[in-house]
A = this chain, B = another copy of it.
Amino acid sequence: MSHLFYGVAYYDEYMPEDRLAKDIALMRETGINVVRIAESTWSTLEPEEGQYNFYHIDRVLEAMHEAGIAVIVGTPTYAVPAWLAAKHPDILVTTVAGQQKYGPRQIMDIVNPTFRRYAEKIIRTLMAHVQHHPAIIGWQLDNETKHYDNIGRYMQEGFVRSLQEKYPDLRQLNHDFGLDYWSNRIDRWQDFPPVENTINASLACAFSRYQRQQVTEYLAWQAAIVREYAQPHQFVTHNFDFEWRGYSYGVQPRVDHFAAAQALDIAGVDIYHPSQAHLTGREIAFGGAITRSLKPGQNYFVLETQAQGFAQWTPFPGQLHLQAFSHIASGAAMVSYWHWHSIHNAFETYWKGLLSHDFSRNPTWQEATTIGADFARLSPQLAELKAENDVALLISNEAMDALNHFLPGDARGNIYNDIFRRFHDALYDHNISLDIIHDVNEETSRYRVLIVPGLYAADEGLLTRINDYIARGGRALIGFKSGFSDENVKVRSSAQPGVLRQSCGVSYSQFTLPEETTVSSCCAEIDCRNDNQAELWMELLTPDDGTRTLLRYQHPAWGEYAAATEADYGQGRALYVGFLPQKGLISQLFDVLTADLTLNSRTSAYRYPLVVKKMRNRAGNNIHFLFNYSGEAMDVVSETLGTALLSGETVYVGQPLRLRAWEFTIIES
């Protein structure tokens, strides 16, 4: 990947008329050098069972090859043809809402053997047909694969088998999961009830983990088939996505990205985000940080992101450009739009591609041509950028499941991700670059600071490794609820926060919800006049001897309890916070914890909306990105000496720079 990829998804199948030659000419004008094709086209490829039609695939491959545009071919399995559903209705997934009805994509039962048989056949037939085509640089498995909330027979039977393997003795299962409660005890495997309505969080979370494992297994199964045909120079990738709140929001609850990425050569991702006045770069940053961590040391593909997108996302002038380089600044090796044109029929006609329905050279497309040109011109400096962060944030699908099972008060939805975003976004706004990790191990020692939000469920081993990380000199910011329950979602009967008490030097036996509750500062470094609301949760903390109280609750009944504490532990230090702070306070707590450290992750004295990223390029030079994420022009001074890559001019430290609305600069030093 010695150059930056600039791509689009392209669907010859969906065109209202033959436009292939015209589109390719326009792509070249745009600077497009890669296209994604074929995923979701099963019914076109195999219009009747066993009858294949490669018309569109063949002509697109041929024409792209001729034009020098690389192609990524997707397996077409994420939407099933009508004939298959008609012949085998049982391949449609069953969820708590019942068996899904034909129509939408992503409604198949991915553990159904019949579905697997047909899917394997179309993948093998397609691979055999195109495998030697020189246009193809890689393969995409399926599309945003998930388990689709599958509670079908195969999923449940598999889950029970997996438990049988782990628990030869049901009494252990009853004990670990606390199944005695409300008479949920199971004393014979044949009595195992369907789990979709269980009230036992241990069982529910174990099932959720099993569902995610089937996504991992499914992608590995597809990868193995594809690799039987793939050429050595071709990569296998997949476009992961995230929780969806109308845009990419937080950690994906239905896929274990880290496990599933094992089957890939290169990690890929789909990142969608608010735009116009709501464009912040936060989704680009956290999505990049997660994806960058799936294959440490490698760059990743943004296989899908928006060009125009939803009507409310039509980009303001400058935004498309800003977004593209924000992806690069996170370590992306590709920025690819979904998709080239705008669909004229069916479901997603509301969604605008790079071209509108009229295929004309619209203003957004105009801006894309400048990105294409910049990508081509600056690839020597910007390809294969590496992050060198020394701050990491720990995420956990298991903690998410568990915490979301026990929502505080009236909270609804994926609260884990709300907490994750609060901590991530506070540091993003504070220009602290971070990596995202899913475990703490020897590798973690390269980080000087560890952020642990909402680690509700974790085994003793992980908690001990966190303690060890701190003991060896690490700094940790540990959020409320961490350590509360074990890996089986059994609440610990020790003092809370479990063995984290050792490092954090704090404990609690009671907690409550904050109601118009603020916190007050107990140290000079923290100013609580603003951003002082305690949100979502509050633990009534009692510091151990030697632990410093940083914050207290301002409350007639709880005023004697600590709200945040800091303790030295071994060579390191742990800051524990018993409530959900506002962003401004999180950044202050981070600063208190790290005041004496020079952090590579601390990229700038500026704050959001001025966002600064630092990466290292192939030549070993630092690349400084300075983004103006606002609709106002900003006057800043350069914090580094180097060459402004877009203009080619030299800038010195302290040199005044003017960034227009949504403008950015890149300085190589």
Q: Residue A577 at the B interface, CB < 8 A?
A: no
Partner-binding segment picked from A368-376, A433-441, A470-478, A511-519 = A511-519
Q: Residue A48 at the B interface, CB < 8 A?
A: yes
A358 & B496 in contact (Cβ 8 Å cutoff)? yes
Assuming the contacts A16-B493, A199-B103, asked whether A346 and B178 have C-beta atoms less than 8 A apart, the reply is yes
- Chain B residues closer than 8 Å to A661, beta-carbon distance: 556
Q: Which residue of B lies closest to A495 (CB)?
A: B358
- Chain B residues closer than 8 Å to A192, beta-carbon distance: 82, 86
A509 & B356 in contact (Cβ 8 Å cutoff)? yes
Interface string of A78-110 (1 = CB under 8 A from B): 011111011000000000000011111100000
- Chain B residues closer than 8 Å to A179, beta-carbon distance: 43, 345-346
- Chain B residues closer than 8 Å to A510, beta-carbon distance: 308, 314, 352, 356, 362-364
From residue A188, how far is it (CB to closest CB) to chain B in Å? 6
Q: Residue A76 at the B interface, CB < 8 A?
A: yes
Q: Residue A655 at the B interface, CB < 8 A?
A: no
Interface string of A194-205 (1 = CB under 8 A from B): 111111111000
Assuming the contacts A79-B183, A183-B79, A511-B314, asked whether A342 and B491 have C-beta atoms less than 8 A apart, the reply is yes
Which of the residues B80, B185, B194, B359 comes within 8 Å of A43, measured between beta carbons? B185
Distance A363 CA – B558 CA, assembled complex (angstroms): 11
Q: Which residue of B lies closest to A101 (CB)?
A: B197
B43 & A193 in contact (Cβ 8 Å cutoff)? no
Which of the residues B40, B48, B199, B492 comes within 8 Å of A187, measured between beta carbons? B48
From residue A608, how far is it (CB to closest CB) to chain B in Å? 20
B199 & A346 in contact (Cβ 8 Å cutoff)? yes
Distance A360 CA – B511 CA, assembled complex (angstroms): 14
Distance A661 CA – B362 CA, assembled complex (angstroms): 56
A178 & B343 in contact (Cβ 8 Å cutoff)? yes
A83 & B509 in contact (Cβ 8 Å cutoff)? no
Interface size class of A (residues with CB under 8 A): 35 or more
Which of the residues B184, B345, B511 comes within 8 Å of A491, measured between beta carbons? B345
Q: Residue A52 at the B interface, CB < 8 A?
A: no
From residue A367, how far is it (CB to closest CB) to chain B in Å? 12
- Chain B residues closer than 8 Å to A511, beta-carbon distance: 311, 314
Assuming the contacts A276-B512, A317-B557, asked whether A183 and B102 have C-beta atoms less than 8 A apart, the reply is no
A185 & B359 in contact (Cβ 8 Å cutoff)? no
Which of the residues B82, B185, B408, B509 comes within 8 Å of A185, measured between beta carbons? B82
Interface string of A347-358 (1 = CB under 8 A from B): 111101000111
B82 & A181 in contact (Cβ 8 Å cutoff)? no
B312 & A493 in contact (Cβ 8 Å cutoff)? no
Distance A656 CA – B194 CA, assembled complex (angstroms): 65
Q: Residue A217 at the B interface, CB < 8 A?
A: no
- Chain B residues closer than 8 Å to A82, beta-carbon distance: 183-186, 191-193
Assuming the contacts A181-B347, A357-B492, asked whether A197 and B104 have C-beta atoms less than 8 A apart, the reply is yes
- Chain B residues closer than 8 Å to A199, beta-carbon distance: 103-105, 346-347
Distance A47 CA – B202 CA, assembled complex (angstroms): 20
Assuming the contacts A103-B198, A187-B48, asked whether A311 and B180 have C-beta atoms less than 8 A apart, the reply is no
Distance A491 CA – B357 CA, assembled complex (angstroms): 7
Assuming the contacts A103-B199, A191-B83, asked whether A408 and B178 have C-beta atoms less than 8 A apart, the reply is no
Interface string of A475-506 (1 = CB under 8 A from B): 00000000001001111111110000000000
Distance A311 CA – B578 CA, assembled complex (angstroms): 14
A491 & B344 in contact (Cβ 8 Å cutoff)? yes
Which of the residues B48, B105, B185 comes within 8 Å of A183, measured between beta carbons? B105
Q: Residue A42 at the B interface, CB < 8 A?
A: yes
From residue A276, how far is it (CB to closest CB) to chain B in Å? 7
From residue A662, how far is it (CB to closest CB) to chain B in Å? 9
Contacts A83-B191, A311-B512 known; 12 new A-B pairs at CB < 8 A: A14-B181, A16-B493, A103-B184, A104-B182, A177-B345, A181-B345, A200-B346, A202-B346, A343-B491, A358-B493, A358-B494, A362-B510
Interfacial residues, chain A to chain B (CB-CB below 8 A): 13-14, 16-17, 40-44, 47-48, 76, 79-83, 85-86, 100-105, 177-188, 190-202, 276-277, 308, 310-314, 316-317, 342-350, 352, 356-360, 362-364, 406, 408-409, 485, 488-496, 509-513, 515, 537, 540, 556-557, 631, 661
| 17 chain-A/chain-B pairs, Cβ below 8 angstroms | A43-B185, A44-B185, A48-B191, A79-B183, A101-B197, A102-B193, A103-B193, A177-B346, A184-B346, A199-B347, A311-B512, A312-B409, A314-B511, A345-B488, A345-B490, A345-B491, A357-B492
